Chain A
Amino acid sequence: AQSVTQLGSHVSVSEGALVLLRCNYSSSVPPYLFWYVQYPNQGLQLLLKYTSAATLVKGINGFEAEFKKSETSFHLTKPSAHMSDAAEYFCAVRDTSGTYKYIFGTGTRLKVLA
């Protein structure tokens, strides 16, 4: 079964510093991978998606993620954190084994320090 693992339930960075949120996937077939962001009291919003077209995927709000098959990773990065980036971030994989359901990681809460 396909799955994703997010390392670090809480990450703190200073404003202007690099943001790195880690996600590793488990899949026996080429995966469809996603990053979503959830701001307080809101639903999840798509940041970016990987669908095998390019290994470096650019998303909204300056975020990007790189698909590394050798490391089974899909880490999310942003060169310079902004206070408005404080939110919870979810990595997800779409199960392509037949159900096509989306499986989410446990989430990483990003705190940005002034």
Chain B
Amino acid sequence: DSGVTQTPKHLITATGQRVTLRCSPRSGDLSVYWYQQSLDQGLQFLIQYYNGEERAKGNILERFSAQQFPDLHSELNLSSLELGDSALYFCASSVGFTTGELFFGEGSRLTVL
């Protein structure tokens, strides 16, 4: 158990819908990262937050947004869903912004029908 909690574990929805994925980092970790894992794209970095502020952005679509709340949990919002958004979405946390390895949650598997 990494200490990173993600909900929901599985989610099935239809095209055009909107979903929210939630992540609670390990106790004491200030940085939260979101990754998308799909068969054809591998593990893609989406976005990073540190202590409530966005610090780095990767290949995140404009239809996607995220935030980190004062209690340090984070949410990834995916809207106007398309079939190609079906993937495993991972949250990871680390203790700092420039230090510490990543600890991953078990992921949220999104299926868009």
Contact = CB atoms under 8 A, between A and B. Distances in A.
Interface stretch (A63-71, A74-82, A101-109): A101-109
Interface residues of A, number: 20
Given A42-B106, A43-B90, A99 B55 contact: yes
Contacts of A25: none
Interface in B81-105: 90, 92, 97-98, 101-105
Contact of B104 (A44, A96, A100): A44
Nearest to A42: B106
Nearest to B43: A104
Interface size class of B (residues with CB under 8 A): 20 to 34
Interface string A84-105: 0000001000001001111111
B90 A99 contact: no
B107 interface: yes
B42 interface: yes
A75 to B, nearest CB: 19
Contacts of A90: 43
B45 A102 contact: yes
Interface string B30-52: 00010100000011010010000
Contact of A43 (B2, B56, B98, B101): B2
Interface of B: 2, 4, 33, 35, 42-43, 45, 48, 55-56, 58, 90, 92, 97-98, 101-107
A45 interface: yes
9 contacts: A34-B102, A44-B43, A44-B104, A45-B2, A90-B43, A99-B56, A100-B98, A102-B92, A103-B45
Counting from the closest, the 10 A-B pairs by CB-CB distance are A43-B104, A99-B56, A104-B43, A44-B104, A101-B56, A43-B106, A106-B42, A100-B98, A46-B101, A43-B105
